[in-house]
């Protein structure tokens, strides 16, 4: 403890498996991991700053405490021994430890609690993250009984109360281990007032290793697509910083840390049009020389707003399209399907020099092989600079996840028999995810995603690209063949 308050250690623990890239900030913070090319296994992994760590540290510092952020992304430890030494040197002692977990890192984070107890005997350990918006994930971690507290609330909303010793029964969303069992006096999750957040404490990490800074100007999504982790992890209440407060944060990152590129990691950046128009006007006036990217919904964009955003520094615009299949959109609660408005927005952005990135999901409930091909045709019609065809990755707590379990699209027997093995499989993204619809087999879904992705790459390549064309043709034949065999009752793929 220091004279100014308590020393608090905020951790993102290491992952030693060099085969994978771990994305704790992606998927609304629930996270996923993806395979790395073998040639990259010896190279440092790209760093995605975790917004909650910087904001939580800033909240603690504003309350008079001394936060220490140790996010191993910046170190990329290769062994437990090296990590142990480095961590103890960075933080010899502390009063409390908070570990930011995610779906793909959960089990290693649970295992490493023992190491933390050895290094810091008697110091209370807490684990937190958007993952715990799903009650079943809270219950699973509680069953392991290795952390003193599981924090389901957004961490910035409760961390000061926990550190300062407020009665755990009075803290929303805190499950506190006491006499071998977890108690929670108020399971309702506390959500952060975004406007009241202090400026993020990026001075506590090695910003020289960042190529982009991540900021959040809002949280919460009132739309509620049933597959989306934003809705479950951040709730449906839209909470935003004012344009003036958002500019203050961006200016701080530029002038203090030399930020040149930002990712504005909001669920729907342009949901409040007047706020964004005001922010863009302020950015244009400030002339900070910073470029940024955002994700938004095409229903909340038009060419005039896109042009204003470009003048304010927008250079990459990402958006979900998901599917051309009417049944898929209906089942997913995805109400927007004005393709011509979307195309108009895309063309306006491209004309200005904004890179456009479209994301699609094949094999969602209600999809068919024909629907998947229609989605690929839609992608070609829209003409985005980059189109990515993903397969469903049901996040615990979402409606799509519950439906997939109920209908057997996810392995219900494994879920009941070996929850750890089941959750480990859920954290891997971009590699053999199962189909969520009876009309497309798992193997067909994998082939369809490859057809879509190879086709989009082919359109951007020069030359004949015979190898890629051959792969596309082979996958199409395989999809057709599996359909034929399934029609006669053979359980293929």
Q: What is the pLDDT of residues 121-140, one digit of tens each?
A: 999 999 999 999 999 999 99
Q: Is the pLDDT of residue 231 over 60?
A: yes
Q: Which CATH architecture has domain 7-183?
A: 3-Layer(aba) Sandwich (3.40)
Residues 6 or more apart whose Cβ sits within 8 Å of residue 284: 311, 312
- Please tell me the predicted confidence (pLDDT) of residue 431: 65
Count Cβ atoms within 10 A of the Cβ of residue 468 and give its class: 0-12 exposed, 13-18 middle, 19 or more buried.
middle
Segment among 116-120, 331-335, 389-393 with least mean pLDDT: 331-335
pTM beyond 0.75, yes or no: yes
The chain-wide mean pLDDT, for the chain, equals 94
Q: Please give the average per-residue pLDDT across 15-41, as a whole number.
A: 92
- Please tell me the predicted confidence (pLDDT) of residue 167: 96
Length reported for the chain: 493
Higher pLDDT, 338 or 92: 92
The domain locations on the chain are 7-183
| 402-417: pLDDT as tens digits | 999 999 899 999 999 9
Q: Is the pLDDT of residue 429 over 90?
A: no
Segment among 155-164, 300-309, 392-401 with least mean pLDDT: 392-401
Alpha carbon distance 147, 176 (integer Å) = 9
pLDDT band at 463 (very low <50, low <70, confident <90, very high): low
Q: Please give the average per-residue pLDDT across 229-253, as a whole number.
A: 96
Q: Could you give the C-alpha distances from 284 to 49, 144, 260, 310, 405, in angstroms and in order?
A: 26, 52, 15, 10, 49
- Percentage of the residues of the chain whose pLDDT score is greater than 90: 88
Q: Please give the average per-residue pLDDT across 232-255, as a whole number.
A: 96
Q: Which of 256, 253, 132 is nearest to 190 (CA)?
A: 132
Q: Which of 70, 75, 84, 132 is nearest to 106 (CA)?
A: 132
């Amino acid at each position: 403890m220091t004279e100014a308050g308590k020393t608090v250690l905020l951790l993102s623990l290491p992952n030693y498996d060099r085969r994978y890239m771990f994305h704790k900030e992606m998927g609304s913070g629930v996270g996923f991991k993806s395979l790395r090319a073998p040639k990259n296994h010896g190279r440092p992994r790209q760093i995605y700053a975790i917004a909650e760590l910087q904001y939580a540290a800033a909240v603690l510092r504003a309350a008079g405490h001394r936060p220490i952020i140790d996010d191993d992304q910046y170190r990329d430890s290769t062994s437990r021994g090296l990590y142990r030494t480095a961590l103890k040197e960075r933080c010899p002692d502390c009063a409390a430890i908070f570990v930011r977990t995610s779906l793909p890192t959960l089990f290693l984070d649970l295992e490493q609690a023992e190491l933390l107890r050895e290094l810091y005997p008697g110091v209370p350990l807490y684990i937190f993250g958007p993952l715990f918006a799903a009650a079943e994930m809270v219950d699973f971690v509680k069953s392991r009984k290795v952390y003193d507290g599981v924090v389901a609330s957004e961490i910035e909303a409760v961390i000061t109360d926990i550190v300062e010793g407020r009665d755990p029964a009075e803290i929303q969303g805190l499950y506190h281990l006491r006499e071998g069992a977890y108690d929670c006096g108020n399971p309702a999750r506390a959500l952060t007032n975004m406007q009241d957040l202090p400026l993020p404490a990026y001075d506590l990490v090695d910003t020289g290793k960042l190529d982009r800074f991540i900021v959040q100007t809002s949280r919460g999504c009132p739309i509620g697509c049933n597959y989306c982790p934003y809705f479950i992890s951040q709730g449906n209440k839209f909470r935003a910083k004012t344009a003036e407060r958002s500019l203050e944060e961006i200016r701080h990152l530029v002038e203090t840390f030399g930020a040149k590129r930002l990712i504005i990691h909001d669920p729907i950046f342009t949901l409040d049009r007047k706020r964004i128009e005001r922010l863009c006007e302020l950015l244009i006036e400030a002339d900070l020389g910073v470029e940024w990217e955002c994700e938004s919904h095409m229903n909340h964009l038009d060419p005039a707003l896109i042009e204003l955003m470009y003048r304010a520094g927008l250079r990459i615009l990402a958006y979900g399209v998901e599917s051309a299949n009417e049944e898929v959109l209906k089942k997913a609660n995805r109400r927007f399907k004005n393709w011509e408005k979307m195309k108009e927005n895309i063309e306006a952005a491209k004309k200005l020099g904004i890179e456009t990135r479209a994301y699609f999901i094949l094999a969602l409930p209600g999809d068919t092989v024909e629907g998947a091909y229609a989605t690929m045709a839609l992608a070609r019609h829209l003409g985005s600079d980059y189109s990515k065809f993903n397969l469903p990755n049901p996040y615990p707590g979402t409606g799509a996840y519950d439906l997939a379990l109920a209908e057997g699209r996810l392995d219900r027997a494994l879920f009941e028999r070996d929850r750890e093995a089941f959750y480990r499989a859920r954290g891997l993204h971009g590699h053999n995810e199962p189909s969520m619809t009876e009309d497309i087999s798992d193997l067909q879904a994998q082939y369809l995603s490859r057809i879509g992705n190879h086709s989009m790459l082919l359109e951007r390549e020069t030359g004949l690209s015979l190898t890629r064309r051959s792969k596309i043709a082979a996958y199409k034949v395989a999809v057709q063949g599996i359909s034929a065999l399934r029609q006669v009752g053979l359980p293929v793929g």
